[in-house]
Structure 1
Amino acid sequence: MEHPRARHDLEFIPFDHEGRQMILVRDRLGLVPYGTGVPPGLLPILALMDGLRSLDDLAREITALQGGRSVSREGILAVLAELDQAGLLDTERYRAAKTQAAADFAAKPIREAVFAGQAYPDTRALLAPYLDAILALAPQDAPALPAGARLLGIIAPHIDPEAGKAAYGAAYAPLRGLAPKRVVVLGVGHQIIRGLYCLTDKSYATPLGDVPADAAAVARLRAAGGAAVDPGDLQHRDEHSVEFQAVFLRHVLGETPFSLVPVLCGSPLGALSGNASRAAFLDLAGPFLETLRELAATPDTLVVAGVDFCHIGPKFGHDKPAQLLEDAATAHDAALLDALAAGDAEAFWAESARVKDRYNVCGLTALATLAEILPPSDMTVLCRDIMREKETASAVTFAAAAVTAR
């Protein structure tokens, strides 16, 4: 373990335990036991373990972090052994567990409704009225869509439905009465490490009935995607961003038989080797985007981007409370939406570059993909909202919008 690497697929959630600040570790793979907490001081040390720094490098940098209190190479090895045992490192033990999890998921014929009973009711009898109540919360003063215009797609949140009720209602209300045969869902792959996209041809289960995948379309995209597409589909197993859209779609479209093209979109920062620009994006994902554009242009196909926008405050790495960042973050949201509404993909990437992704827009790749695959169109922003988390002085922004044919 000369160049140790921390796992990149863990979530760290600040919480207060008996007056002491701790970090809850959430591990969808299950190697880290549920409820495990670590001290906040461990996070900057894990951040140094990037697979590039040697043990000697780590000893020097951790010594600096500790204000000059020396740490030896042997001390680092002892800490690494504890971190590996705790499941926090990318080691053989972790990779074997991930390989087994991927094999187990591959053997399943369906992607289960993981968040049923947690983020939304898990029975038809309770879920249908719950979703109807959310749809009824669509803002009454939302702008009207152009009269007679054909709906090409929507932007919806993927935040917890309870937190994003008004925006979910605004996004999905326009779908009532539609009967698409296929829905392309651009979700956010929070755990994608290889490539920009992750696909699955598994049906998505919901308490209202399963939504079958368009296996032929998924196969076309996988063949076209090359290095832009993760070769597996394990990231779909525990990801909520497509699941929430599948639940709303199944409800709003009723008995309409439709298929799903579930596309998880990862962060451009790693996949584009630090060059998060439109040119680099098109260079890597061009053939994938062209195939997706062809699918989106097919009659009776709808595109849904299930995204959140800015993630601000200490929970997301900022040294200021979200309240002090809100104005700048919401202005960034508005600029991104304006660029999308204008059909100006270059302006969209330029706005992201302007702030150097300071505000952690997790839906950046999904929105950039949307900008590339839709024909000339009009966008109507229906709702913008923010979820404030008082306990962590942090916040998440999100929006609802409809895209109509010009």
Structure 2
Amino acid sequence: MQHLEKPRVRPYLVADQVRGEPSSFEISDLLRLSPAVMRVTALDLEIMKRMEGKQSIAELQDSLKPMLGGGTVSPEYFTKLLAMLEECLFLDSPNWQSAISSPVRPPSCIGCYDADPKNLTEQIESYYLHKNGPGVPKARATDHRMDAVLAPHIDYARGGWNFAHAFGQIYENTTASLFVIVATSHYSPKRFTLTRKSFGTPLGEVPVDNAFCDRLEAVYGSGLYDDELRAHFPEHSIELEVVFLQHLLGPNRPFRIVPLLVGSMDDMLQDAADTSVPADVARMVKALRQAKEATNEPVCFVISGDLAHIGPKFGDKAGLPDDFLSHSQDQDLNLLAAAATGSSQGYRQILATEKDARRICGFPPTWLTLQVLGQCTGKLLRYDQYVNPRGSESVSFAAMAFQTRGR
């Protein structure tokens, strides 16, 4: 096979040293396209670093001789290593190219939810019926009375009922078939990243609204796909919302999404007195507004964002004493109250004043969507504060519904 003549290790792999074994490493896939974890030696890792698609096996053997004191690595050794890399999808090969060029983004969160469609359906239904859930959604909406929801993206085990509060409102209060999912980006340094790949889950495939994406690009400009693979393939913040939409709307109400990941906006939280908006952020606000206005059907925004991330796991040295948890909850509720008035500036001001000390990962998508909606009001549906029993971490999250004033 041609790709084995001058082998190249593909990008987006990470090597972690095995604890207590300085000469052993585990290779894994940052994109989560491959579930494999490949254990290698220090020599294997050195060979992999040299596999850049420029040298044949014989040339690689020669390049290793100085490091090995004139010794060599046998062709059989290379054959075995290449076979392992190929099996794990760690080579730049036809299989790898096929995976990244597929029009469908495969699920990356199996385990958070069940891979079997029937079991997954029952799993989602259980969150509506949970003691903290909203109950089974009532009558399906006959008109568009709601413009956005805030939903968490914490794993379902810790917050599935909170998702249910948000998505129950979608069933009852909007006829939209187009959902702009504005979600926290956890893996890419880029501010904004789109994908045009459909989202695949055990419940089927959900297409992207390409026309809406075209309108976004026309106003925002280029660069929205520069880090598409790293941003979207391993990301959970859109996929977990898509699964709830699929369960909620089912095959009888086809829908499309616009999957927009939003990266850090820490530069907007450095000075509480500074209300300026970076040029790229202002362009995205304008692009989303104009794309929405040019859409001849109801549009519902889904804000995917959690609230505080506190405790030793996130760098807080004081642990999680009760007064710290209580203060964090008070600040969360202040944030949500600001959001409920539609005040993106008030929301930002609270976080800038505390220098985002509690790591509100939902700030970028929430602030952005509030800006796009303009004058709106919100209703808090459910607030939760998860605390790890061992005291290592606490993550808070909420469900809200928004409508523009005058609707």
Q: Unaligned 5+ residue runs, structure 2? A: 1-11, 21-25, 40-89
Q: Would you say the 8 A contact 1:102–1:233 is kept in 2?
A: no
2:95 and 2:193 map into 1 onto residues whose CA distance is 16
Cα distance change, pair 103–256 in 1 and its aligned pair in 2 (3 A)? same
| CA deviation profile, 1:304-331 (whole Å, cap 9, x unmatched) | 0111110000111111213352122212
Structure 1 distance, partners of 2:331, 2:91, is 40
SS in 2 for 1:193: coil
Query: What is the TM-score with the length of structure 1 in the denominator?
Result: 0.70
| Of 283-292 and 350-359, the range deviating more from structure 2 | 283-292
The question of whether the paired residues in 1 share the 8 Å contact of 2:13 and 2:28 is answered with no
| Structure 2 equivalent of residue 362 of structure 1 | 361
Structure with greater Cα Rg: 2
Letter in 2 for 1:108: S
Counterparts of 2:392 and 2:377, CA distance in 1: 36
The answer on whether the counterparts of 2:217 and 2:224 sit within 8 Å (CA) in structure 1 is: yes
> Per the alignment, in what secondary structure is the counterpart of residue 277 of structure 2?
helix
Which runs of structure 2 are paired with 1:32-43 in the superposition (5 Å)? 34=37
Aligned counterpart, 1:179: 175
Separation in 2, partners of 1:9, 1:341: 42
Counterpart selection for 1:113 from 101, 107, 122: 107
1:25/1:326 CA distance change after superposition, 3 Å: farther
Question: Alpha-carbon deviation of 1:226?
Answer: 4.0
Q: CA deviation at 1:405?
A: 3.5
Distance 1:35 1:105, change over 3 A: closer
Q: Alignment partner of 1:331: what SS?
A: helix
The structure 2 residue matched to 1:309, chosen from 301, 307, 310, is 307
Instruction: Give the paired residue count.
Output: 324
2:109 and 2:355 mapped to 1: Cα distance? Answer: 33
Identity of aligned residues (%): 26
Does 1:129 find its partner at 2:122? yes
Structure 1 window deviating more from structure 2 (183-192 vs 341-350): it is 341-350
Residue 334 of structure 1 and its aligned partner are, at CA, apart by 1.3
Shift of 1:219: 2.9
Deviates more, 1:101-110 or 1:366-375: 101-110
Post-superposition Cα deviations, 1:247-267, rounded to whole Å, max 9, x if no partner, equal 001111122111100011111
TM-score normalised to structure 2 length? 0.70
Q: Which of 203, 206, 214 is residue 209 of structure 2 equivalent to? A: 214
- Cα offsets for 1:215-235 (capped at 9, x unmatched): 222233234334784523111
CA-atom RMSD in angstroms: 3.8
Query: What CA distance in whole angstroms lies between the structure 1 residues aligned with 2:202 and 2:29?
Result: 25
Aligned to 2:328: 329
1:390 CA displacement? 2.6
Give, in whole Å, the separation in 2 of the partners of 1:209 and 1:291: 30
1:275 shift after superposition: 6.5
Query: How far apart are residue 404 of structure 1 and its match?
Result: 2.3
Aligned to 2:265: 268
Maintained 8 Å contact 1:150/1:405: no
Give structure 1 stretches of 5+ with no counterpart.
Answer: 1-7, 19-23, 37-95
Cα distance between partner residues in 2 of 1:135 and 1:104: 38
Q: Give me the whole-angstrom Cα distance separating, in 2, the residues matched to 1:332 and 1:214.
A: 37
CA distance in 2 between counterparts of 1:124 and 1:287 reads 40
